[in-house]
Amino acid sequence: MRWLAKLPQRQRTVVECGAGHAELCRFFSGHFNLAIAIDTNPPPGAYPALRTEPISYIKGCATNLPLPSGSVDLIVSMQALHHFDVARHLVEAHRVLSTGGIFAALSWGAIELPQHIREACDDFLMLAERYWEAERDWVVSGYPGLEFVGECVNLPPAAMCKTLSVGDLSRTFQSWSAYKLGTRNCPEAFDAALEKLHKLGETKVNAAWPIKGRIFRKRQDPPEQSGL
């Protein structure tokens, strides 16, 4: 995230779209003059932002940003792009970005686990595979094929890493939408799959979620050609 904060030519304004609790926006507030979080349905406690918060929070849509053209230096979303009308969001993002500004659509890749932990989770993960949303492969792959009017910037290898208890990992699995949908259809199968994980006892688990996504820099618009 520090690398991303330094990418724009200027660090005046950053906007996080689909911000939720606005964790990224709060981080970027230490690198930009103005940090704005936008979400159509902000969670309780996040909106409206307190005066003591370093961010502004707007209840609004990523396809209709209430900001002047060319006024934003970084537009970022995390695990949110697939919830937008993507085509309209890209047009709106291009409009509000300044020349040299950065558009970053980020997502979390599939969880990575040590081999022996992975083997204990295989039954659960294979069950969950049946119940993921149709767009999940696009999301965990980092939105391949997404295009933006600008110069593509390569995202360096990065990941969120955590040391979890077996209980923490089980609760993480149970927070997944695939689990919530799957347990309506075959709760016994999911319980049996999780039991294999629980047999690991007090084992500590090193888990990682790669950061994926597509990043672009807005180029300077070419000068208009005058007719002869």
Q: pLDDT per residue over 40-94, tens digit each? A: 999 988 888 878 889 999 999 999 999 999 999 999 999 999 999 999 999 999 9
Which domains are seen in the chain, by residue range? 2-217 (3.40.50.150)
pLDDT tens digits, 138-197: 999 999 999 999 999 999 999 999 999 999 999 999 999 999 999 999 999 999 999 999
Q: What is the pLDDT of residue 156?
A: 95
Q: What is the pLDDT of residue 128?
A: 95
For the cut 60, the answer to whether the pLDDT of residue 225 exceeds it is: no
Question: Cα–Cα distance between 166 and 176 in angstroms, integer?
Answer: 16
For the cut 80, the answer to whether the pLDDT of residue 226 exceeds it is: no
pTM score: 0.90
Instruction: For residue 227, name the pLDDT band (cuts at 50, 70, 90).
Output: very low
Asked if 13 and 71 count as a contact pair (C-beta separation under 8 A), the reply is yes
* Residue-wise burial string across 67-105, b where 16 or more C-beta atoms lie within 10 A, e elsewhere: beeebbbbbbbbbbbbbbeeeebbebbbebbbebbbbbb
